[in-house]
Amino acid sequence: MKFSNKKVILFDLDGTLIDSAPDLASAINHMLSSLARPTFSEDIIRSWVGNGAEVLVKRGLSGQSEIDPNIDAALLAKSLQIFLSFYKENLSINTQLYPNVRACLKVLKAQGYRLAIVTNKPFEFIGPILEGLQLNGLFEIMLGGDSLPKRKPDALPLLHVCQELNVSVEQCVMVGDSKNDILAAKAANMQSIGLTYGYNYGEDIGLHKPEAVFDDFADIVATLSPEY
């Protein structure tokens, strides 16, 4: 399908633009080692990524994707501090862009689209990662999971972007790799594009009925390219 009359493209970050799982796994394992707890493979930790730092830390402490409801609050606070401190110093060691991301973002920007990031990742990490991967200057607005009182899958971050950029929901499209992205878009009555290669816990992104599903980031350009 072709998306028409769009002015703003909202992108998730982890699992959509960047594969950050290697560095997140290193930070989780550093945290666990510091607490004298067992560490896990990158593949296992990769399956826990996608709901923000606190959920990832809780999964690390639980040793599985299903969070232990009895995690001690003081332990969680200490663990989160260890994780965030280490991650802050090691944001872009092995984090990489997915194929075609940089080139396609530049094409979309050149075509006149306004670009935004809406992620559940803490805001303080967004800018340094974008700079490290040479994506700075492309995005007009960036929201982290702690930027507003609510985050995806709530509609608030998406509606906030619309308000800040003075555009209607109908003029925007949300692009993401997880159900949180698609659910947030549906809650905001915004069209969405699902990507199959990110962090969606082995679940088919198409189950949540985005308007389009792509395996390759480059397909977004063809779908959004203005018709002459």
CA angle centred on 163, ends 160 and 169, rounded to 5°: 85
- CATH number assigned to the domain comprising residue 31: 1.10.150.240
- When divided into structural domains, the chain yields a total of 2
Residue 1 placed within a domain: no
Structure confidence by residue, pLDDT tens digits, 148-189: 999 999 999 999 999 999 999 999 999 999 999 999 999 999
Average pLDDT, the chain: 95
Mark whether 100 and 211 lie in a shared domain.
yes
Mark whether 64 and 174 lie in a shared domain.
no
Domain boundary among 69, 89, 109: 89
Q: What is the pLDDT of residue 86?
A: 98
96-97/212-214 β-pairing: unpaired
Residue 113 placed within a domain: yes
Mark whether 204 and 111 lie in a shared domain.
yes
Mark whether 116 and 77 lie in a shared domain.
no
Asked if residue 225 has pLDDT above 70, the reply is no
Mark whether 62 and 165 lie in a shared domain.
no
Exactly one of 12, 14, 19, 177 is catalytic; name it.
Answer: 12
Closest to 60 in 3D by CA, of 20, 27, 19, 85:
27
The CB density around residue 17, as the number of other CB atoms within 10 Å, is 29
Residue 2 placed within a domain: no
Residue 111 placed within a domain: yes
Mark whether 72 and 177 lie in a shared domain.
no
Mark whether 13 and 106 lie in a shared domain.
yes
Look up 12 and say whether it is catalytic.
Answer: yes
Residue 74 placed within a domain: yes
Query: Can you say how many angstroms the Cα of residue 125 is from the centroid of all Cα atoms in its chain?
Result: 12
Average the pLDDT over 101-105 and give the result. 97
Residue ranges of the alpha helices (H) in the chain?
21-34, 42-46, 53-62, 73-89, 101-110, 123-132, 156-165, 179-187, 219-224
**Prediction pTM value:** 0.93
Mark whether 71 and 132 lie in a shared domain.
no
Domain boundary among 37, 68, 89: 89
Mark whether 76 and 135 lie in a shared domain.
no
Task: Give the span between the Cα atoms of 94 and 20, in whole angstroms.
Answer: 7
Mark whether 14 and 53 lie in a shared domain.
no
Domain boundary among 89, 117, 144: 89
On the 0-12 / 13-18 / 19+ scale of CB atoms within 10 A, 184 is: buried
Contact 86/32 with Cβ under 8 angstroms?
A: no
Average the pLDDT over 138-156 and give the result. 97
- The model's confidence at residue 226, banded by pLDDT at 50, 70 and 90, is low
CA torsion sign for 1, 202, 180, 178 is negative
Task: Give the span between the Cα atoms of 105 and 133, in whole angstroms.
Answer: 13
| Domain interval for residue 45 | 21-89
